[in-house]
Chains A and B, each alone.
Chain A
């Protein structure tokens, strides 16, 4: 049996409001609630609600044979509670089917692993609690923010009890190997590693509506035939993508929902193929080899490295500034301050400061509330300056 393993990332950052230098010491409201609410409600209407409905319908229709997984960041869950509780309810309804796995990550979609293991562990614990509380599952699969991964991430996650970990199937990690098998991270003995098949994943996430693409228009039938072609050359097809692909990055008009609606049936038409969640796939497969990944990989941009968040002077500076406050914040032990600090760790803040416009600039621009990376940095530093004063004061 070959398992088609879907994992969808659901995340929304707490975007900051325009915060001038002269606001420092005068105003302690950092987040743009209005904009965050507007965006969340818009994405809920275009993506979360209709796609969740479609997933539920498919799960029922295939009587448990269509299985999927989500990783939902804590900031996204908090925004659901605040701005669109019906979205959270619809995820819970999916959880109730027993066909959906919820994956663990850092609560605030944080880059903490790169700066503080303690803080990273605290955030993982917080998120684990959230998944238990909201979806009634104890997660056994872990994915680090932005699929940032190396041997150390796997080792630390194994120590926390996770048995499956997800990563990007980057060429420089795999070399000649295929992403369509389970591996074992080099330092681990129990953990299994599932790697994203980026070609097939990106066919849906990025290329689906691209009319210049030779395969356009892509149908469920065509895509299923590519998946089926893995038969004999793999044991799992790992399709990892942002959930906002459905209805938000690829608009409804592109036919993405029709595609998704017919896909399970087309995939299941082949008797050797089944859907499974990451934990299920991992429990059924033996790792074919150990995989040694000493350097960080991620799922961003063509480089698949850290440079989208930590690739220039401003990003380095802002990151070390926010994580430099750890001891102060933790010692203070004030839930509001800690929450504000964690919210400032979200990877998106640093993504907005990225200056490598030229190759991947378009994607960055699309998601960026700032008109340029310099404004993003200035705004962030102003907020952080006020936060630091508050913590010290």
Chain B
């Protein structure tokens, strides 16, 4: 099957688990004989080394036919055109987020004007067809995100016209408009793959635009793939998608045996309890801080590490200071690549206290480093993992109690690590690829 896949991230340039999931998923699909073309915002250094997929960067893709881009007077109209039927009263919600400064807004407005100007010049010059140029999409998660995804979607349509494919597969809301546009252009069946919903990211304070885009993508899709039953449930309840249209395909992990820690590291041995992930509402960093305070009241030979960045980081730092945990609680900022590996290697316990976690691949990565994990029951990964401790994210004293149990009882750690290693081997991407292959088969037969 030739798969035209739209994603926002691809290793080594990733901000979260989505890029990693896309990497291993495409590799497993390739092993099953599928030919995957992976479209992302822009190609960057280090990306093209992998031969299992063909990568296309939207920013580098020459857009020739511009007639459908002719009147980009404003963003609102653009989205409405691509996603006709989406009820968008205003797009200001995203643009006027509290983290956007006046100058950023000004820049955005200027950019819009420039783009419109280029379009007009191009039309005037060429009658609107022959000239080709690139639409810049940075692939970053800045305040221009909505505009970026619209540009991405525009080019996605052009790519769908030129890249041969049997099915379209789009990951998460960022590329859902692209998937919908590609389907409009090529008429091929669309799979929308939901790794996270707006409810996971924002709780009840959903961004209406994002919600509408997600809903549109799922409605237009021929099949929705959810990364867990937990997520499927949200899709059915909150987005009104019929359960029969939603297939659950759990993520997996590729266990690279990461070896034991060096004797020097062992000698250091103060216990390290790790939180690693975006410091955002969704990941529950505040519960980790409160649990740390409880644990540290009982034993002092523990260090807590919060690795990552995010909008809640300042508040977390303040709270740690307020609780006077600073000497035992450390913030590393964002970690990538080798630093992540080292962090796992030096940790004794990994905690994922997510408020809402559609899947949550990082506990599996921690386990690959023989680190026992405590995970939130409100996570998809809890559905596939037996050899992990599970807590309700809000139950801080239970979380603290379990951290202490792991610190106190070697046999508990040993059992979790040994059984977990066996379990990891059964959580394979090839299983996910097999299920995806079945989904492709079903929808292309109908189509």
Chain A contact residues, CB within 8 Å of chain B: 20-22, 312-314, 316-317, 355, 357, 371-375, 377-378, 381-382
B47 within 8 A of A: no
Among A20, A313, A316, contact of B398 (Cβ-Cβ < 8 Å): A20
B389 adjacent to A374 (CB under 8 Å)? yes
Q: A21-B298, A314-B409, A317-B409 are in contact. List 19 more A-B contacts (CB 8 A).
A: A20-B401, A21-B401, A21-B405, A312-B415, A313-B410, A313-B414, A316-B411, A317-B410, A317-B412, A371-B390, A372-B389, A373-B415, A374-B388, A374-B415, A374-B416, A377-B412, A378-B405, A382-B401, A382-B405
Main secondary structure of the interface of A (DSSP, over half): helix
Asked whether, in the complex, the Cβ of B397 is within 8 Å of the Cβ of A22, the reply is: yes
Residue of B at shortest CB range from A18? B398
In the bound complex, CA of A317 to CA of B414 (Å): 11
Q: Which positions 363-403 of chain B face chain A at CB distance < 8 Å?
A: 386-390, 397-398, 400-402
Q: How far is the CA of A357 from the CA of B294 in the complex (A)?
A: 33
Q: Which residues of A contact B401 (CB under 8 A)?
A: 20-22, 378, 382
Check if A20 sits within 8 Å of B397, measured CB to CB: yes
Chain B contact residues: helix, strand, loop or mixed: helix
B419: chain A residues at CB < 8 Å are: 355
Which of B298, B388, B398: most chain A CB closer than 10 A?
Answer: B398
C-alpha gap A184/B409 in the complex (Å): 43
Shortest Cβ gap from A352 to chain B (Å): 13
For window 278-299 of B, CB contacts with A under 8 Å fall at 294, 298
Report the bound CA distance from A314 to B414 in whole Å. Answer: 8
Nearest-Cβ distance from residue B374 to partner chain A, whole angstroms: 10
Closest to B298 in A: A21
Is B404 on the interface with A (CB-CB < 8 A)?
yes
Could you tell me if B415 and A313 are in contact, using CB atoms closer than 8 angstroms? yes
Contact of A381 among B397, B400, B409, B414 (CB under 8 A): B409
Chain B contacts of A374 at CB under 8 A? 387-389, 412, 415-416
Residues of B within 8 A of A381 (CB): 405, 408-409, 412
CA separation between A378 and B390, bound complex, in Å? 12
Q: Is the CB of B402 within 8 A of A314?
A: no
**What residue in chain A is nearest B372 (Cβ atoms)?**
A374
Give the 3 A-B CB pairs with smallest separation, nearest first: A313-B411, A317-B411, A21-B401
A residues within 8 A CB of B397?
20, 22
A372 touches B386 (CB 8 A): yes
Q: How many A-B contacts at CB < 8 Å in the complex?
A: 62
| A20, B388: Cα distance in complex, Å | 18
Q: Which residues of A contact B404 (CB under 8 A)?
A: 21
Which chain B residues lie closer than 8 Å to A21 at the CB level? 298, 400-401, 404-405
B414's nearest neighbour on chain A, judged by CB, is: A313
| Complex Cα–Cα for A311 and B163 (A) | 57
- Cα–Cα distance between A357 and B418 once the two chains are bound (Å): 14
Residue on B with the closest CB to A22?
B397
In the complex where A20-B397, A381-B405 touch, is A375 in contact with B389 (Cβ < 8 A)? yes
- Known interface pairs A355-B419, A371-B390. Does A314 touch B412 (Cβ–Cβ under 8 Å)? yes
Considering only residues 153-169 of chain B, those with a C-beta below 8 Å from chain A are: none
Q: Closest approach, in angstroms, between the C-beta of B147 and any C-beta of chain A? A: 46
* Complex CA distance for A235 and B82, rounded to whole angstroms: 85
What's the Cα separation between A21 and B298 when bound, in Å? 10
Residue of A nearest to B413 (CB): A313
- Whether B412 and A378, one on each chain, are in contact in the complex, defined by CB atoms closer than 8 angstroms, is yes
Query: Given A371-B390, A374-B415: A22 and B294 within 8 A (CB)?
Result: yes
Cα distance, A20 to B397, chains bound together (Å) = 8
A375: B residues at CB distance < 8 A: 389
List, in ascending order, chain B residues with CB within 8 A of A317's CB.
409-412
CB <8 Å contact, A357 and B386: yes
Chain A nearest CB from B81 CB (Å) reads 50
- Give the chain B neighbours of A20 by CB distance below 8 A: 397-398, 401
CA A381 – CA B412 in complex, angstroms?
10
Q: CA separation between A373 and B409, bound complex, in Å?
A: 14
Expressed in whole angstroms, the Cα–Cα distance for A234 and B388 within the complex equals: 50
Residue on A nearest B395 in the bound complex, by CB: A20
Contact A314 B411 (CB under 8 A): yes
Interface 1/0s, chain B 78-101, versus A by CB < 8 A?
A: 000000000000000000000000
Across the interface, name the chain B residue whose C-beta is closest to A23: B401
B366 CB to nearest chain A CB (Å): 16
Cβ contacts A to B, 30 pairs, < 8 Å: A20-B397, A20-B401, A21-B400, A21-B401, A21-B405, A312-B411, A313-B412, A313-B418, A314-B411, A314-B412, A314-B415, A317-B409, A317-B411, A355-B415, A355-B419, A371-B390, A372-B389, A372-B390, A373-B415, A374-B388, A374-B389, A374-B415, A374-B416, A377-B405, A377-B411, A377-B412, A377-B415, A378-B401, A378-B409, A381-B409
